[in-house]
Amino acid sequence: MIKVLDKENCCGCSACYNVCPKQCIKMKSDEEGFLYPIVDELNCINCGLCEAKCPIVNKNIQKNEIVSYVGINKCDSERAISTSGGIVGAINEYVIEKLNGVAYGVIYDSGFMPVHARITTKKDALLFCGSKYAQSYVGDTFNLVKNDLESGKNVVFTGTPCQVAGLKSFLGQEYTGLITIDMVCRSIPSPKLWKKYLEWQENRYKSQIDRVNCRAKTYGYHNGTLTIQFKNGKRYTGSNRVDLYMKAFHNDICSRPSCYKCNFKDIERSSDFTIFDSWNANYVTDGLYSDDNKGCSNIICRSKKAFDLINSIDNIELYNASMTKMFEYSGGMESKSISYNEKRRFFYKDLENIGFEKTIISRIEITIVDYVIEKIKPLYFNVLRRGRK
Ligand SMILES: Cc1cc2nc3c(=O)[nH]c(=O)nc-3n(C[C@H](O)[C@H](O)[C@H](O)COP(=O)(O)OP(=O)(O)OC[C@H]3O[C@@H](n4cnc5c(N)ncnc54)[C@H](O)[C@@H]3O)c2cc1C
Ligand code: SF4
Ligand code: SF4
Ligand code: SF4
């Protein structure tokens, strides 16, 4: 029976839940809103599968061949709604259209909560676009991926490094039809916090939410802005400088306990691709790429399959790039866990007792200067835009 029950270790990947032959594991939310496995001991037959498939107990990192690029999706509209260069979107589309396959990734459900979903059309795959900064609900996804692979389908799966490691551990064998994509992942806040944030915004704007984008490129890629469109026509925009949710995320006061000693921060990984932000693409590509502030991705191919696939996709523009240089600008997030912030200690207790806004502003300072810069930004961008016309 699964024993990785201490919270610092369990990343919540759901591999144990997916593998249990007696369906006696449930993923249950703790008081912070993160999911953990709970075993119904009466029905457990002690087969040991849950422990055998746990990626924390059995780390399966392969040493792979590595080629690195900076890339952009040639379709401007798709690149615009993606977080960096829209590369994951171009790969998903290729697998669906050219390889007649299926794509798994994270979409918002009807309440704007991030969930893993199976998608089979190019149009629906657009729902994957954009990072959602709360832990996704995996549910039965690993079993669905396995069914697809066993029936001979090509499958692309995107997730955090711990989710990809969980899937690969669950599958336990290499499938030629499977492509996995992970990212350089800072950490992940809880779905409960995200829900509280959305409710707080709905109260402020006295309207239900129509659309959310955690990192809209309204003011360019290098000035990502959390944007919420409300059903009453009002619109909220707040950058990492002033948005309370993004502030909490970037100050490391609300992440899953396992993110503070992440088992999957490593340059060597079991995925086919690692895709992440390219903050200094001119430097990384030795001037081959000229940054247009519309977003670009660092791409690491770790298998021949990944190398062949990315070079077959007409819709992606690729530039040779140095992996060492990429990591100079990643904040160390590919290999180092975030540091524990003492202000996290009673964060989720306070969230329950004093509410979203007070919990965050009692821990994080946002200065008048921050608000002034935030107010001036749209004016500055409008002037820039007019200047270009
Ligand atoms: C929680 C999180 C933390 C990240 N931290 C960093 C970081 O510290 N540094 C960095 O350089 N890049 C980070 N990234 C990656 C970056 O934001 C982009 O996702 C990446 O550059 C790919 O961009 P894209 O334009 O190709 O694809 P996008 O259109 O942005 O989509 C990427 C894919 O991410 C998947 N996805 C979205 N939200 C989630 C989620 N909550 N859980 C799992 N999968 C999800 C979707 O399935 C989608 O297909 C992070 C992403 C996430 C989700
Ligand atoms: S030991 Fe087997 S039956 Fe028991 S919880 Fe684990 S997988 Fe399920
Ligand atoms: S398999 Fe995943 S969810 Fe289950 S105990 Fe291990 S880390 Fe936690
Ligand atoms: S930091 Fe590590 S444990 Fe946390 S979500 Fe990312 S990969 Fe998973």
d(CA 11, CA 260): 11
* pLDDT value for 387: 65
The dihedral through the CA atoms of 338, 368, 345, 348 has a sign that is: negative
Residues with CB under 6 A from ligand 4: 11, 160-162, 185, 187-188, 256, 258-259, 262, 264
**Close Cβ partners of 342 (under 8 Å, ≥ 6 residues apart):** none
Q: What angle do CA 36, 37, 41 make, to 5 degrees?
A: 145
Tens of pLDDT along 27-50?
Answer: 999 999 999 999 999 999 999 999
Tens of pLDDT along 359-380?
Answer: 999 999 999 998 888 888 877 7
Domain that holds residue 344: 59-389
Q: Is residue 148 assigned to a domain?
A: yes
Q: How many CB atoms lie within 10 A of CB 323?
A: 17
Q: Is residue 37 assigned to a domain?
A: no
* pLDDT value for 280: 95
Q: Is residue 113 assigned to a domain?
A: yes
**Cα end-to-end distance, the chain, whole Å:** 65
Residue 191 has pLDDT above 90, yes or no: yes
The three-state DSSP-derived secondary structure of 77-109 is HHHHCCCCCCHHHHHHHHHHHCCCCEEEEEEEC
Q: Is residue 71 assigned to a domain?
A: yes
- Burial letters for 182-212: b for 16+ Cβ neighbours within 10 Å, e otherwise? bbbbbbbbbbbbbbbbbebbeeebebebeeb
**Which ligand has its closest atom nearest to the C-alpha of 181?**
1
Residue 253 has pLDDT above 90, yes or no: yes
| Ligand 3 contacts CB of residue 135 (under 6 A) | no
Long-range contacts from 343-351, C-beta under 8 angstroms, 24+ separation: 343/251, 343/253, 344/252, 344/253, 344/254, 344/255, 347/248, 347/253, 347/254, 348/31, 348/32, 348/33, 348/190, 348/192, 348/193, 348/254, 349/31, 351/192, 351/193, 351/196
Mean pLDDT computed over every residue of the chain: 94
Residue for token pair 């299926």: 102
Instruction: State the pTM of this model.
Output: 0.96
Give the Å distance between the CA of 258 and the centre of ligand 4: 7
Tens of pLDDT along 48-75?
Answer: 999 999 999 887 777 677 899 999 999 9
Q: Is residue 41 assigned to a domain?
A: no
Q: How many CB atoms lie within 10 A of CB 92?
A: 26
* pLDDT value for 385: 66
Number of structural domains the chain divides into? 1
Q: Is residue 199 assigned to a domain?
A: yes
Give the Å distance between the CA of 117 and the centre of ligand 2: 25
| Ligand 2 contacts CB of residue 35 (under 6 A) | no
H or E stretch at 119: strand 114-119
d(CA 375, CA 247): 17
Q: Give residue 246's identity as a one-letter amino acid code.
A: M
Q: Is residue 112 assigned to a domain?
A: yes
Q: Is residue 47 assigned to a domain?
A: no
* pLDDT value for 187: 98
Give the Å distance between the CA of 265 and the centre of ligand 1: 15
Minimum-distance ligand 4 atom for the alpha carbon of 135: 5
Minimum-distance ligand 3 atom for the alpha carbon of 53: 1
Minimum-distance ligand 1 atom for the alpha carbon of 114: 41
Cα 90 to the center of its chain, rounded Å: 17
* pLDDT value for 65: 75
